[in-house]
């Protein structure tokens, strides 16, 4: 049984380092994971890596400045 089945987790800054490792672990534990990041290269890399699961959504966003629009 998965510890995080039927749970949704938001990870800000989840496109590298500890955030990305946490996203991987939570996916392994059955969670639906939303990952945000602002760096284009890291975001694309994380999206490609984590997209193997149907339970992940990657969003390019700068949560430090919510008024900034990111294309």
Query: What's the chain's length in residues?
Result: 71
For 1, 19, 37, 67, the CA distances from 30, given in Å and listed in that order, are 9, 17, 22, 33
Measured CA to CA, the distance from residue 1 to residue 64 in angstroms comes to 36
In the three-class reduction of DSSP (H, G, I as helix; E, B as strand; rest coil), residue 5 is classed as coil
Contact 63, 69 (CB under 8 A): no
- Report pTM: 0.82
pLDDT tens track for 8-51: 999 998 999 999 999 999 999 999 999 999 888 998 898 888 87
> Half-sphere exposure of residue 41, counting CA atoms within 13 Å on the CB side?
0
């Amino acid at each position: 049984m998965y510890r995080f089945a039927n749970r949704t987790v938001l990870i800000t800054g989840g496109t590298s380092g500890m955030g990305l490792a946490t996203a991987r672990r939570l996916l392994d534990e059955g969670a639906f994971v939303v990952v945000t990041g602002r760096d284009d290269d890291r975001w694309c890399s994380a999206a490609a890596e984590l997209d193997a699961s149907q339970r992940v959504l990657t969003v390019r966003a700068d949560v430090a400045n919510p008024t900034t629009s990111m294309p």
